[in-house]
Amino acid sequence: MLTVSQLSFERFFQPVFVPLDFRLDPGSLLLVTGVNGCGKTTLIRLLAGILTPTSGSIQSAANGRAYVGHMLAIKDDLTVLENACFMQQFLGPGSRSVNEVIRIVGLRAVAGQLARTLSAGQRKRCALARLLFSAASLWLLDEPYSNLDDEGIQLVDTLMQEHLGQGGACVLATHGRHRPPMENSAEIRLQAGCTQS
Amino acid sequence: MTTIAGMADVAHSASLSRAFFALLRRDLLLAFRRRSELLFPVIFVLVVVSLFPLGIGPGPALLARIAPGVVWIAALLATVVALDNLFRSDFEDGTLEQFVISGHPLALIALAKTLAHWLVAGLPLVLMSPLLALWMNLPTRAVGVMAASLALATPILSFIGAIGAGLTISLRRGGQLLSLLVFPLYIPVLIIATAAIMAAVDGLPHGAFLGLLLAGLLTSVTLAPFATAAALKISLS
Amino acid sequence: MSTNQAKKPRKNALVLFIHKLGSPPWFYNFTGKLIPWLWLLFGVLAAWGLYLGLVRAPADYLQGESFRIMYIHVPAAWMSMMIYGLMAVMGFIALVWRIRTMEILAMSSAPIGAAFTLAALISGSLWGRPTWGTYWVWDARLTSELVLLFLYFGVMSLYAAFDEPRKAARAAALLALVGLINLPIIHFSVNWWNTLHQPSSIGVTGSTIHPSMLWPLLIMAVATKFYYAANLLTRARLMLLEQDFRKSWARDAINGVAAPTTHGEPD
């Protein structure tokens, strides 16, 4: 699904991480770990196409990408339902209805509330709804577990398992201790870039 | 094969137009959720225009003479002040990143957002222009031309300004810089629009000026969204 | 990038040259050899042009000695527009092909162009005093130069506003490009505005010019181009060194060691 070779990204003329090579096959998960500031978010944003590599290449055979990052892209002035409706209309007609998705992410009780009234964990769940509307085969998750309760963590793992089962692939960046219980998963530990001399 | 490709194209453009209108509707809804901000450009222009008679003196002839310039400069200022909000909240909450990833052309997204912005910040100025004309003692025969010039050319301001807004969105003091970036680009609009109104005041033909503004409108609507998309892409990196 | 290059070898000499310019050590060494000659040519031409213009050319029949300001004003005005165009074109190349030296060249052009614009404005208003009796008239050419100065200020302040230099250069290059597309429109609308509001416009230059007055002008026009090239490359070299100071070639260059030509030998 993804072939990454000699990927590097420079900020202030310094590589953010040591050049990377990896492959990601359909149905598999790639865990990206490492200490704070080692470039996990940068890597995810590179894979998402938001950033352009300074050198190296990312070859993608993915049919679209879906991304949940630190910034949740939820509008405070819209209700959960309105946020979800916009996601569905914008991302295209998926197989699931808005109500179904809201139920899956466990926000049915607050569907009519403005997003600004939600707790941090509920907001995260609302952002996760995006994955369910998207038909993308590559999921890019940047710290999906943060702010979530045990049940929410379970939800993320279940969603990923289903996605991988359908031939999708997933890149997950995390600095936490929780590891998703996937069989075909690989892990890369990012190392912060050092100056080349 | 061709029919399948054709159907795929139809489906693709259908999903594009759905995304376009979903975004337009969402932005309008968001604007109406904050009605106090909705009125801001209108009040801003009213205040700025009312400062001129206070600063220059209420002589009707002088006011009529400077009316086209005053109204247009107020419109320029109001547009730039409102422009900073065009992409800011979407940038800060990560929606802009989602737009990039969605695979929809970023230029189309810029077009939808700029259009929504003009409907909220530009259109009220057009509707309010007869009142301003009255205040500034503009001859009645020029009121229609003033409204027409605003209707044709305030979208140009929004579309060119969107490029500047896209470029400055990731800067903390972006709003201040924005005015420096876009005002020089607004000069042709200012010259031609005020010339149209002055021609109407003098009873001269003014159709050519409005035609020029229309040409500028069509050009900026077709070209500026691409530059805005490039600007947003740079700001996200 | 490198595989692309291997597939289509030396398709175009210009593309090859741009690629070479894209290599910082090569650029640094090449321009290091070039710059002294550029400064020398500028010095000789400027001295010659100014001598002919200020000493040898006869005084103007109408304007007397004051017309000699032309030898500064006109080349500066020409340069101000040419540099804006070059800056935008280099910015375009930098945006499309992501060539860092092009970003640096485009951004180093901005202050030089702004300085020429300022020189044109100041010399123009000094020239206006004896000619029009006032330092400032909203004449089409001065107004255009003023707008051009604003455009330069926009590019420079946008470049200065970003922390990350490459992001800054890309943003400012895009703005320069948008400005370039608008520049003709601004120019024509200002000219037209001028005729609209001042039906009896005051001409500055006479319609005919004597060869002994024209030659110094042309020499000065060429001299300013060498000045631009020399100043631009000097700035670009410094900026490159500043950006790459952690890299080995830059350290060697700073320590006075000849940088190794790692990126292909010149052919």
Q: From CA C68, how far away is CA C88, in angstroms rounded?
A: 32
pLDDT digits (tens, 9 = 90+) for A49-101: 999 999 999 998 888 899 999 999 999 999 999 999 999 999 877 778 999 99
Contact in structure between B79 and B48 (CB atoms under 8 Å): no
Q: Mean per-residue pLDDT for C101-114?
A: 96
Q: How far is CA B166 from the centre of its chain?
A: 14
Question: What pLDDT does residue C231 have?
Answer: 97
**Whether the predicted pLDDT of A111 surpasses 80:** yes
How far apart are the CA of C155 and the nearest CA of chain B, in angstroms?
Answer: 8
**Whether the predicted pLDDT of C128 surpasses 90:** no
pLDDT digits (tens, 9 = 90+) for C217-260: 999 999 999 999 999 999 999 999 999 888 888 888 888 765 45
Most trustworthy range by pLDDT among A139-153, B77-91, B148-162, C54-68: B148-162
Residue in chain A nearest C242 by alpha carbon: A13
**pLDDT interval class at B114 (50, 70, 90):** very high
**Interface contact C154-B184, CB threshold 8 A:** yes
Question: What pLDDT does residue C7 have?
Answer: 41
The two structure tokens encoding residue C233: 């490359």
Q: Mean per-residue pLDDT for B162-170?
A: 96
**pLDDT interval class at B25 (50, 70, 90):** very high
| C51 secondary structure, DSSP code | I
Residue in chain B nearest A52 by alpha carbon: B237
**Whether the predicted pLDDT of C122 surpasses 70:** yes
Q: From CA B170, how far away is CA C161, in angstroms rounded?
A: 10
Q: From CA A60, how far away is CA A1, in angstroms rounded?
A: 6
pLDDT digits (tens, 9 = 90+) for A122-180: 999 999 999 999 989 999 999 999 899 999 999 999 999 999 999 999 999 998 888 88
Select from B18, B34, B100 the Cβ nearest to the Cβ of A49: B100
How far apart are the CA of C79 and the nearest CA of chain B, in angstroms?
Answer: 20
The fraction of chain C above a pLDDT of 90, given in percent, is: 55
Q: Mean per-residue pLDDT for B118-136?
A: 92
Q: Which of C95, C104, C164 to mutate to test the interface with A (most CBs of A within 10 A)?
A: C164
- DSSP β-ladder status, A55-60 and A2-8: antiparallel
**pLDDT interval class at C2 (50, 70, 90):** very low
Question: Which pTM value belongs to this model?
Answer: 0.91
Question: What pLDDT does residue A191 have?
Answer: 82
Q: Which residues of C touch A (CB under 8 A)?
A: 1, 98, 163-166, 243-244, 246-248, 251
pLDDT digits (tens, 9 = 90+) for C143-190: 999 999 999 999 999 999 999 999 999 999 999 999 999 999 998 999
Q: Mean per-residue pLDDT for C16-42?
A: 88
pLDDT digits (tens, 9 = 90+) for B29-59: 999 998 887 888 889 999 999 999 999 988 9
Contact in structure between C104 and C239 (CB atoms under 8 Å): yes
Closest CA to B79 of B158, B133, B148: B158
